[in-house]
Structure 1
Amino acid sequence: MNHSPENLVRMGIVLGKELIGYADLAFVNEHAVEIGIAIGKSEMWGKGIGAQAAILVMEHGTKAYQLTEFFAETHKANIRSIKMLEKLGFQEVSRVGYEEYKGKNSRLIQYELLKE
């Protein structure tokens, strides 16, 4: 994290006093980013922490960088991630390629959220 690329903002996700993951803003252009959320401990999954982190990182991006367009990508097999993105208002824009996810080949789905 000390040598992040110029186009990446990475913030830690802290619960209590423990670092449990990170949230990324990877700049596509001056008004658009791809967000990434990772929660390391599986026992923390499904508790809304990722959704709250996504909301906070998007609010930060909107205020600090005047971002208006957010992208995200997940695997078709990652049902929790899909539900989170849709709950946050993201819309599916395309299905691209395949990648390994949990030992199986899974289609990648791209999402977009526009802020006015």
Structure 2
Amino acid sequence: MRWSRDRAFCQANGWTPELSAQQVRDWWREWWRERREQAKYLRMIEVDGGLVGYAEWQDVQGGEAELGIAIGDSGLWGQGVGTQAGKQMLAWAFGELGLRRVWAEVHEPNARSLALMRRLGLREVSKNGTGEYQGAVVPMVQFELLCGKVRINRPAGE
């Protein structure tokens, strides 16, 4: 429910803000029903024992998958939560899951997500297609990372 009340999160993730508790429950039930088969690729993100987001591998097939990370508490944006989750997801992908290539799509105006992908070592490969972001149709930036090419970019002074 907290995420559905967080306007910044809703705008960034295409959620409808201020839904009733029943509407939010219905939305999550449908989300879970649609992803039941993919649930084994979903990890919840916790901070201090509280659920603050999720990370998942989507479209897992042929040794490839798409990375998705959502931090539901916008107050935690810029605090390294997504970076830590992304590092763990990449270790899982190229380790236990045995993936050869991972990719992600980011709305071009989403500077935080663009920076996150770069910090995780993904490289921009194209701008292809559009998606809705904060009420506008914007270009999508595609990133990829190949197995064996993992490098973590650290900010200066870290």
Alignment correspondent of 1:94: 126
- Which position in structure 2 is the counterpart of 1:62? 94
Alignment-derived partner of residue 35 in structure 2: 4
Task: State the partner residue of 2:49.
Answer: 17
Q: Say if 1:14 and 1:2 are closer, same or farther in 2 by CA, change over 3 A.
A: farther
The number of equivalent residue pairs is: 116
| Number of the residue aligned with 2:12 | none
Q: Kindly provide the CA deviation profile for residues 60-96 of structure 1, in whole angstroms up to 9, marking residues without a partner as x.
A: 1222211121100100000011011112111111212
**TM-score w.r.t. length of structure 2:** 0.68
- Range 56-65 or range 67-76, more displaced: 56-65
Q: What stretches of structure 1 of length at least 5 have no aligned partner?
A: none
Identity of aligned residues (%): 34
TM-score, length-scaled by structure 1: 0.90
Out of 8, 31, 40, the position equivalent to 2:63 is 31
Q: Which moved more, 1:58-67 or 1:69-78?
A: 58-67
Partner letter of residue 129 of structure 2?
G
Larger relative strand fraction: 1
For the aligned residue pairs, the C-alpha RMSD in angstroms reads 1.6
